[in-house]
Amino acid sequence: MNFRSSRWLLAPVVAGALAAAGLSLVNPVTAADAANGKGRARNVIFINGDGMSAAQREAARLYLAGFDGQLTMDKLPYSGQLTTSPHDPKSPITDSAAAATAWSTGEKTYNGAIGVDVDGNPLPILGAQAKAAGKATGLVTTAQVTDASPAAFFANTANRSAQDEIARQYLEVTRPDVILGGGEDWWLPAGSPGAYPDKPAEDPSEASKGTKGDLVTEARAKGYQYVSTADQLRTARPGKLLGLFANEELFQQRREGEGDRYDPPASLATMTSKALDTLSRNKKGFFLFVEEEGIDEFAHENNGTRMLQALGELEKAVAVARNFAATHPDTLVVVTGDHECGGLTVEDTGTADESGDGISAEDGPFPVKGSALTFNLDWTTSGHTGVDVPVTAYGPLAEEFTGKHPNTHVHDVLARILTR
């Protein structure tokens, strides 16, 4: 048995982070809220827990809320399931690019595709359609802002790896009003470090690598404020906003104790709040994509400690979105995942069952909040799996997410709001 004990590390990290943020996870949804789905929507907040399926949500519920508690994302009054399979000739299991393209375009495609069909032809994407309809648009992520999931809403390219081309399209084609996350390396040419130096000690492989020129300077010329710290983000004035807070992701994705780190310079909840304050000034409404990438990246490393920490940060961002929608009844909030990662199972710590060593080792024990009991996380892979993902929703059209649907159903619902 290869048993990785993480309880000692996770509890103070997550508990301290929640307290420091000053954002409550208690956010009751009343019976009256359930009727909120009957109104008319102008705004959409679409939230992706990358790599998050039912097991990840249940592990977070036990750790953050306890046996009788609920996560804010699970209190949203309408719920269902989404299938995730792509149309890829080589695999029945999706990656983030194909999954997000299904959301954005309503068409399934191959893994690695950003806003293109199975033949590589560009498809209409929701970010561009919302902009054409006069709405403000934005994206917030703890990944690179040009990573697959946000890119599928705001770019068209046959290869998700072309992140500098995706950045160029943001500025010159789809023009999202708010762009907040990581990935400064893709906005600057090789040899031209920006706010974050090349080859940092925590990851010497990170360095500026763009091939489209100095896109930060171009963004400023197009009217974007550029910020690179939490203080600069806090004091940014209303208007178009580009914030890049790391060379790549806003964390270091490694196995426990091997240089893993999750302390984003600007938290997901903070970025979400700033984006909502900016986008909500548009009288025609807005579209905001929000993503917690750490769930997926740490699940790839079978790092339950940091995965649960990332889930806690997602939960705080969901609370920000839910609180905004509570005072803006024309806002649809949707929370889901693009796929599952890790083949995760939540297990009793008392069982003798063990599926293997290394990648398939158990992880834990982790405490159940308000209880003396603990649970383990048991991984079966370091990759994605094909299980369904839960979806929960609040606001106008939220009832459309009840039942089981293909992931393209997301597009069908969101387009009814964003393309008119």
Q: What amino acid positions are annotated as catalytic residues?
A: 96
- The phi, psi pair for 288, rounded to 5°, reads -125, 125
Q: What is the tally of helices (H) and strands (E) in the chain? A: 14, 16
The H or E element containing residue 179 is strand 178-182
**Which residues on neighbouring strands pair with residue 333, listed in sequence order?**
45, 394
Query: Was 149 annotated as part of a binding site?
Result: yes
Cis omega before residue 367 (within 30°)? no
Distances (CA, A) of 111 to 92, 128, 161, 295, 390: 10, 22, 11, 19, 21
Query: Was 119 annotated as part of a binding site?
Result: no
Measured distance CA(50)–CA(200) in Å, rounded = 26
Closest to 246 in 3D by CA, of 147, 159, 138:
147
Query: Was 147 annotated as part of a binding site?
Result: yes
Q: Report the SS3 class of residue 413.
A: helix
Q: List CB contacts of 197: < 8 A, sequence separation 6 or more.
A: none
Amino acid at 85: S
Query: Was 291 annotated as part of a binding site?
Result: yes
Q: Where are the alpha helices (DSSP H) in 45-187?
A: 54-64, 72-75, 96-105, 126-132, 148-154, 163-169
Please give the distance of CA 366 from its chain centroid, rounded to a whole number. 24
Q: Report the SS3 class of residue 260.
A: coil
Q: What is the CA radius of gyration of the chain?
A: 20
Q: Report the SS3 class of residue 134.
A: coil
Q: Could you tell me if 78 and 398 are in contact, meaning their C-beta atoms sit under 8 angstroms apart?
A: yes
DSSP letter for each residue of 313-330 = HHHHHHHHHHHHHHH-TT
The annotation places the binding site for Zn(2+) at 50, 296, 300, 338-339, 384
Residues belonging to the binding site for Mg(2+) are 50, 147, 149, 291
Provide the annotated binding site: 50, 147, 149, 291, 296, 300, 338-339, 384
